[in-house]
Amino acid sequence: MPSETATTVQATYPSRFNAFVGGLWRIIRSIHLPLNDPFAMIGIVIYLVFFLVAVFANQIAPYDPTEILFTEAYDLAADRLPGEDGFVLGTTSLGRDIFSQLVYGSQSALLIGLTAAAVVAVIGTIVGLISGYFGGVVDMMLMRLADIAFGIPFLPFVIVLAAFMEPSIWNVVFAMALILWRDTGRVVRSQVLSLRTRAYVEAARVSGSSNLKIVFRHIAPNILPLSFLYGSIAIGWAILTEASISFLGFGDPETISWGYMLQDAYASQALSTGAYYWFIPPGVCIVLVVVAGFFISRGYEEILFPKLKE
Amino acid sequence: MSGVKRFGSRLLQLVFVLWAVATILFLIFRLMPGSPLAAYIDPSFTEEQQRILMARFGLDRSLFDQYLLYIWNLLHGDLGESFFYGQPVGERVLMLLPNTLVLSLFSIILAYMIGVVGGAYLAWKRGSFLEGATIPFVLTTRAMPEFWLGMVLLAVFSFSLGWFPAGGMRTAGSEYPSLLALYTSGDFWRHLFLPALTLAIYFHGLPLLLMRSNMLDVMSEDFVTMAKIKGLSNWTIVVRHAARNALLPVATSLAIAIGYQMQGSVVVETVFSWPGLGRELVRAVSASDYPLAQGAFLLIAVVVILMNLLADLLYGLLDPRISHA
């Protein structure tokens, strides 16, 4: 890089940086993390724990989750009970360490959950903003699209889509982006409809603000909590959907997820052999992560609709 | 907008959505890589045989002609022929539909019985410990993957305790003269119970929370205060005055519930080997039996769309304020 541009970049850096921090702070403030709601706090703590487990998975997991393990006597370490031969949660019938799979499963769960939630919230919010603010033909077309999305049964749609694409955990995210923006979109739209008639929006329009500025500067910050409410529900949906798809056998066989573990257990007759240690832990993990999202969304609901608290 | 006009526009919307879903399905099934007959055509087929086969399924024409043919056939109720069974798809899916509907309906009835009674009871016992634990409990049941709940119930009540059969719809080898005879047999109900319970546990939260919050609303109304002043017993107030009024919105949610239940049954039917539409869809997709997968999907979509319409209309009917929006 030529030194000239480097200095100009450096010179403008602080002010840009301040603007960035200022913008970030505004976003954080308008998100209104529901910190005083005990359930929401439990949800946030659950997320933090799973987040740390996912980040430090290779330090926490004692084995490679796909490795077929042998005992010191070179016997296949299959169907070990929890605690036996030092396997915390036992092993699968192919001799893989269940605890390690569980730890690595948190990675794909969080990856899918967070990306899907972000995609759903962003698409839904933008559709709602445009539809509600501009109205007219654009609104009509977007809302007819939402009608169609409501007419498509979600899980069957993901199955059909997953069957035609390369097996990948991103299929679920893609399908959610195509279908599940509908709920966020409709709710945001109705909120925008009421916001755009408020006096301060009127004032901004009269003083010559562009449409873009009104939408993103004056209206969008007020609907961010709503987007986050739907986003935190979408995390749960994404994880549940991925689990269902993996369980039905349309998941990515290369990626260890909790849904994959459950499918493996089901197909390996773990139910009839009573191998509870195999199929209970992944289910409990799914429930914990999904319910954490629900708890946080409830915290948002109480901020958004204080009447519910009564 | 008048009632008739509203109904007309909703009906128009229904036709539009049905057409759009059918078109999207066509595009998914035709635009995917490879021939849809890849799983069907044996490599040993001669060039000539392949061409005849392509012509039989209309695959030698242009995409647009295929689309017109597809819509034309749909309008005549012709869903094509299953690759795997060699049987008309329409016949096959309509044969499986009742099994799915019975499972859905029974589980919904179960869920709404638990939900309505539980919700009313919790609103009555407002402020108790039990009531405080409700919402986290309900949210937890909603967070469970339905198939996992099914697996746990299967492992406990079927494999460990042996109280219920491990799957299917009837004991192998049993014969019934008619569908009605099957549906009224004790054997069928023993098979039905666990999958229905799975779906009901998953689904009872919606009616329960709705009923609870409606009850709390109604309980603060003047006529309930009046009943209290009159000295009526708690039981009479809750059951005869409050619950009847709180029930209306819960009833409208029923139609939506059936639509969702149809989707949830895909995984539950697979866990319990229940011979329904959802399991058939999964099997057809796995076996690349495209006409059958398409037919099963369309039928599920039709039920979902019809139930959405029904819920809308019921809602407008029961709460006249809605139709003015």
Least confident stretch, A27-31, A86-90, A175-179, A227-231 = A27-31
Residues A170-206 pLDDT 10s:
888 888 888 888 888 888 888 888 887 888 888 888 8
For the beta carbon of residue A129, count every other beta carbon within 10 angstroms: 23
pTM of the model: 0.80
Residues A263-291 pLDDT 10s:
888 887 766 777 777 778 888 888 998 88
Average confidence (pLDDT) per 10 residues, chain B, 325 residues: 73 86 83 59 68 68 78 79 77 84 87 86 76 80 86 79 72 67 70 85 83 78 80 77 73 77 83 86 82 86 84 70 48
Predicted local distance difference test score (pLDDT) of residue A12: 52
B159 shares contact with chain A (CB less than 8 Å) = yes
Predicted local distance difference test score (pLDDT) of residue A6: 45
Residue among B16, B20, B300 whose CB faces A156 most closely:
B300
Record: contact B267-A294, CB cut-off 8 A: no
Query: Nearest-CA residue of chain A relative to B28?
Result: A161
Record: contact B151-A266, CB cut-off 8 A: yes
Q: Is the pLDDT of residue A28 over 70?
A: no
Biggest CA pair distance of chain A: 82
Predicted local distance difference test score (pLDDT) of residue A11: 47
Q: What are the structure tokens assigned to B12, written together?
A: 């128009």
- The CA-CA-CA angle for residues B168, B174, B177, to 5°, reads 110
Predicted local distance difference test score (pLDDT) of residue A309: 46
Which value, to the nearest 10 degrees, does the dihedral of the CA atoms of residues B200, B203, B206, B212 take? 30
Measured distance CA(B88)–CA(B71) in Å, rounded: 17
**């039990």: which residue's tokens?**
B130
Phi, psi of A88 (to 5 degrees): -55, -50
Residue among B166, B282, B304 whose CB faces A151 most closely:
B304
Predicted local distance difference test score (pLDDT) of residue B319: 62
Record: contact A271-B144, CB cut-off 8 A: no
Predicted local distance difference test score (pLDDT) of residue B34: 52
Residue A2 pLDDT level (bands cut at 50, 70, 90): very low
User: How many Cβ pairs within 8 Å bridge chains A and B?
Assistant: 141
A110 close to A104: Cβ distance less than 8 angstroms: no
Query: Nearest-CA residue of chain A relative to B32?
Result: A164
Min Cα distance A17 → chain B (Å) is 41
Picking from A46, A142, A152, A186 by the largest number of B CB atoms within 10 A of its own CB, the best residue to mutate is A152
Q: Is the pLDDT of residue A36 over 70?
A: no
Min Cα distance B181 → chain A (Å) is 31
B210 shares contact with chain A (CB less than 8 Å) = no
Min Cα distance A176 → chain B (Å) is 15
Which value, to the nearest 10 degrees, does the dihedral of the CA atoms of residues A191, A193, A194, A199 take? 130
Residue A9 pLDDT level (bands cut at 50, 70, 90): very low
Min Cα distance B177 → chain A (Å) is 32
Phi, psi of B242 (to 5 degrees): -80, -55
Amino acid at A76: L
Alpha carbon distances (Å) from B60 to B24, B55, B73: 21, 5, 17
Query: Nearest-CA residue of chain A relative to B297?
Result: A156
Record: contact A294-B281, CB cut-off 8 A: no
Record: contact A148-B148, CB cut-off 8 A: no
Record: contact A159-B266, CB cut-off 8 A: yes
Predicted local distance difference test score (pLDDT) of residue A33: 63
Residue A79 pLDDT level (bands cut at 50, 70, 90): low
Predicted local distance difference test score (pLDDT) of residue A95: 65
Min Cα distance A293 → chain B (Å) is 9
Alpha carbon distances (Å) from B115 to B110, B204, B248, B325: 8, 5, 14, 30
Measured distance CA(B250)–CA(B243) in Å, rounded: 11
Letter string b/e over residues B72-104, b meaning 16 or more CB atoms within 10 A of that residue's CB: eebeeeebbbbbbeeebbbebbeebbebbbbbb
Measured distance CA(B71)–CA(B93) in Å, rounded: 18
Measured distance CA(B193)–CA(A111) in Å, rounded: 36
Least confident stretch, A133-137, A243-247, B227-231, B296-300 = B227-231
Picking from B285, B286, B298, B300 by the largest number of A CB atoms within 10 A of its own CB, the best residue to mutate is B285
Average pLDDT, chain A: 78
SS3 B88: strand
Higher-pLDDT residue of A300 and B282 is B282
Measured distance CA(A169)–CA(A251) in Å, rounded: 7
B216 shares contact with chain A (CB less than 8 Å) = yes
B73 shares contact with chain A (CB less than 8 Å) = no
Query: Nearest-CA residue of chain B relative to A261?
Result: B148
Measured distance CA(B87)–CA(B280) in Å, rounded: 14
ipTM reported for the complex, 2 dp: 0.80
Predicted local distance difference test score (pLDDT) of residue A5: 45
For residue A137, with 0-12 CB atoms within 10 Å meaning exposed, 13-18 middle and 19 or more buried, which class applies? Answer: exposed
